[in-house]
A and B are shown apart, each in its own frame.
Chain A
């Protein structure tokens, strides 16, 4: 059976999307990306460093030198944008720099929690959808917001499981379930996943995909954790498709009762 993730007119075999920030080195990042099986990798858009003093041997290197574009689809983000205007500018710059319509739209509302600013997110999403972007908004786990984002033409919704980089796991599985019942576009849990069981839980709920960065990059061994996350996403997805048994309070014997010796 072919089980693919479809976003706008793109199709992916892997349901795990991985960020490219905060790895101990680019070499470890390359190996972790490979082990994760991810096809979509997120990147940030920032000013080119023009300070000659800071342009040492390695700072002249580009992340592009490490990411095989034949293998990976780049998903530029608008991280660290606190206004709709900054997010829109960053999205446009990302499209121009990387030649992709895809954008992981973030409009951050607060430095401490990095929770989204819903009002500004909606405003930015409207503008970018009109400009032909495939908008994938990072949102809180609010079904009403998810519906609004779908209605204005977003290609997916990306509710957080917990604050970015917190590793707290799926804090509100019931809201995620309601979001899954509310929207038709893919639901991709973004942010908060700490370990493999968190990833499996998200997929068992029926989420279409998962995006993570710190959970892998911040692990003591990011390469092994990337492998763990790949397996967890696959296991969770298979369990979801298999249809789990209902939970019951009391035991149900697995062995037959008939034919017991007397």
Chain B
């Protein structure tokens, strides 16, 4: 059991002008040249209080605007929730 379930599956090749990423364990299509910031905007998620992991590496907030998502990238977006 893992809190990062679904990581194992990989996306198949993207269509024209689009790339397929794995976002929080689910496949999702985004247009070419979408940045992390672009993805967050598309999802209506504010960058405060969240963290983004791209292929197991943390993307620092200062890099959101310059990090472009590529086909088969694995992206995790997390935030804090209640816990003990």
Partner of B58 from A96, A212, A213 at Cβ < 8 Å: A96
By size class, the interface of chain B is 20 to 34
B53 neighbours in A (Cβ, 8 Å): 89, 92-93
Assuming the contacts A21-B84, A79-B84, A86-B4, asked whether A45 and B79 have C-beta atoms less than 8 A apart, the reply is yes
By size class, the interface of chain A is 35 or more
Determine whether the beta carbon of A86 is less than 8 Å from that of B3: yes
Docked complex Cα distance between A111 and B58 (Å)? 28
A63 neighbours in B (Cβ, 8 Å): 79-82
Assuming the contacts A48-B45, A93-B51, A97-B49, asked whether A42 and B83 have C-beta atoms less than 8 A apart, the reply is yes
- The majority secondary structure among interface residues of chain A is mixed
C-beta contact mask, A67-96 vs B, less than 8 Å → 1, else 0? Answer: 000000010110111110010011011111
Nearest residue (CB) in A for B2 is A86
B15 to chain A, nearest CB (A): 21
In B21-64, which residues have CB < 8 Å from any A CB?
23-26, 43, 45, 48-53, 56, 58, 60-61
Nearest residue (CB) in A for B76 is A47
Determine whether the beta carbon of A45 is less than 8 Å from that of B2: no
**Could you tell me which A residues sit within 8 Å of B by CB distance?**
19-23, 29, 42-48, 50, 62-64, 74, 76-77, 79-83, 86, 89-90, 92-98, 111, 164, 191, 211-214, 217
